[in-house]
Structure 1
Amino acid sequence: MNAPTQLLFLPGASGDPAFWQPLADRLEYPVERRFLTYPGFGGAPADPEVENFEDLVRQVVQQIDRPTALIAQSMGGVLALRAALAKPALVTHLVLAVTSGGLDTQALGASDWREEFVAQNPHFPDWFITLREDLTSELAYVQQPVMLLWGDADPISPLRVGEKLLELLPNAELDVVSDGGHDLANAHARVLAPLVDDFLQAGVAA
């Protein structure tokens, strides 16, 4: 397994790269950390070249120009999985926190967060609200090691989603935080950081 030479952090739908700062600050893995923003999300300026989800995937993939571990929150996990499929030789690891993973999460007991989220974020890109990305048939092709981080108290992405991803991804592990909600990677960074460090170091060729 290749060692990553950068850690690329992908936020959730809020688009806030600072979400990952508490975890990134505690990681000991000695490579560059980069924090992505999404055009039109979380107050970031829009980009005329990003008009749909495929455009956003392409923009993320363009950031992967060296061996990279992708660390992603919620909707960022779908982008990370798409990037791993697009650049399997350069994506070395995936750390996915409370993501939908391209599954039908409502069928797995998730609550629908979109209406409330849009009410609080009226300038959110319309195309994302209607997005229903289905990666079920492609997950078997994700050969990178995947760390799934979940809480057992998250109505937006309940534990059943993580368990289903564990079943579908060929090289995955699932770590569950007691009482963890949808913000678990931020709120429980102190607990998760050593686990992520161990995951990034395990199996890396000397």
Structure 2
Amino acid sequence: MPNLIFLPGASGSTTFWNPLINKLSHAESKQVIAYPSFGEEPSQESVYDFASLSNYVLQQIQSESIVIAQSMGGIFAVQAAIARPDLVKGLVLLATSGGIDLTPFQVQDWRTAYQQQYLNYPDWFMASQIDLSQHLEKIRIPILLLWGDQDPISPIAVGQALQQKFPQAELHIIHGGDHAFAEHYAEEVAVHIQQYLTHFNFQV
């Protein structure tokens, strides 16, 4: 039975997932991974750049899992799926870049606002530019893509591009959803995730 692993976005807020977790009926393991130096999480010497944070996240995945990831967390989720296909059995990606170049899309720059809003925000995280586009076709697991139609940070066109790149992906739109729709529309998001888990016979 795969675990459900939740990855926050760039804010590092683990409580972001609480409304959704409370709506998911499955009683098996649900794990939220906190990022060192983000939010209330203390720093660790082993985490000092994007690559070491990615490795830290990967080390937290110790058994077969479905990884549910918000925004920048989607990059870690995709990297984990590439590195450990034996453990990552499914992905649910919400409002993320997924590691593709967002230059062709008219996206709102979130970095400056986040740096002003969150104290002690790691500078190296702001400067990271990750391109995984050449690897996405290698990910052969079922992927659920969820996007809000009122999200200037990751517009629907990004989700549509990812749907084309992943071999086995399905895109659903949350009407009225902004970048934080997983928190604000938790009940609707939970329905999509339950259907995804049931359809692919993930007995979690």
TM-score by length of 1: 0.95
Aligned mates of 1:30, 1:116 — CA distance in 2: 37
Which residue pairs with 2:43 in the alignment?
Answer: 46
* Aligned length in residues: 203
Deviation at 1:29, TM superposition (A): 2.3
Q: Which residue of 1 aligns with 2:167?
A: 170
Corresponding letter in the other structure for 1:132: Q
Paired residue type of 2:142: P
Answer yes or no: is 1:147 the counterpart of 2:150: no
1:18-54 residue CA offsets vs partner (Å, 9 max, x unmatched): 1111111111223111111100111311111001111
Is the 8 Å Cα contact of residues 11 and 114 (structure 2) preserved in structure 1? no
Unmatched 5+ stretches in structure 1? none
Q: Percent identity among equivalent residues? A: 41
Partner SS, residue 133 of structure 2: coil
Match of 1:198 in 2: 195
Residue of structure 1 in register with 2:155 after alignment: 158
Task: Please state whether the residue corresponding to 2:46 is helix, strand or coil.
Answer: coil
State the shift of 1:84 in Å: 0.6
Q: 1:50 to 1:190 in 2, by over 3 A?
A: same
CA positional deviation for 1:116: 1.7
3-state secondary structure, aligned to 1:71: strand
Pairs within 5 Å for 1:87-98: 87-98=84-95
Distance 2:126 2:29 in 1: 32
Give the residue type in structure 2 aligned to 1:140.
Answer: E
Q: Does 1:107 align with 2:104?
A: yes
In the superposition, the TM-score normalised over structure 2's length comes to: 0.96
| Deviation beyond 6 Å, 4+ runs, structure 1 | none
Does residue 18 of the first structure (1) align with residue 15 of the second (2)? Answer: yes
Instruction: Indicate the residue corresponding to 1:182 in structure 2.
Output: 179
